[in-house]
Structure 1
């Protein structure tokens, strides 16, 4: 049996991925303009997040899932930077909350790394 915190991270990714389908406009707004096909990107990343979350909760695929999560979180860094730079993308979040999200990405990467 996997540790409870591994299931927690897996469930968080599954729920985050599902949220891409529940509230796609939020995600479309935070994608930088140089990234094409915002609607498609939201759907694709939602599916990837859910897939990686389920894979992380399976002993046979946890290693690949953990590395996939780390790569995905690295790819999301430009989104967090864009949210800091663009008032509309910031979604009225306070600046301090947007700043904290960057180191949080690295904490999540470390958390995922624990399962490699």
Structure 2
């Protein structure tokens, strides 16, 4: 059953979510150095975490794309979005005013932290819509 009070999941939402995940996953694998600074030091070597999260994004994308695995894929995506949050916090903590990279500027780095909430809700709505039998493609 859909979350009470939540806006309906728009048509194409599941496939758009899968496209977002696939794009992020490919980027993690093709340009891992972009993400290595996001890995909190307490997690150890960053490369395995970056590659692992990229593979997890691709697996979630594939699962969300297929109707038979869409609900499980969307729920896994919720978990993934929560689990990568420490990387976003690390990015915010490491941000510096005047950084050459726009992504490392404090306004951007801190501003993206609350964006995890709508991402989790998006994946949750896809899972709920699938559970209720509504179209999520």
Match of 1:28 in 2: 36
Task: Give 1:10's aligned residue.
Answer: 18
Q: Out of 85, 89, 95, which is 2:106 matched to?
A: 95
Quote how far apart the aligned CAs of 1:36 are. Answer: 2.0
Unaligned 5+ residue runs, structure 2? 1-10, 128-137
- Cα separation, 1, equivalents of 2:82 and 2:45: 20
CA distance in 1, matches of 2:49, 2:89: 17
Output the CA distance in 2 between the equivalents of 1:99 and 1:43. Answer: 24
For residues 57-108 of structure 1, the C-alpha deviation after alignment (integer angstroms, 9 at most, x for no partner) is 11111111111111111111111111111147x8553222112211111100
Contact kept, 8 Å, 1:13 with 1:49, in 2: the verdict is yes
- Rg larger in 1 or in 2? 2
Equivalences for residues 24-103 of structure 1 within 5 A: 24-87=32-95, 91-92=101-102, 93-103=104-114
| Structure with higher RCO (Cα < 8 A, 6+ apart) | 2
Name the counterpart of 2:126.
Answer: 115
Alpha-carbon RMSD: 1.9
Secondary structure of 2:68's aligned partner: coil
User: After TM superposition, where is structure 1 displaced by more than 2 Å over at least 4 residues in a row?
Assistant: 90-94
Contact map agreement 1:17 1:50 (CA 8 A) in 2: yes
Asked if the contact 1:11–1:54 (Cα under 8 Å) also holds between the matched residues in 2, the reply is no
| Secondary structure of residue in 2 paired with 1:31 | coil
Count of paired positions: 114
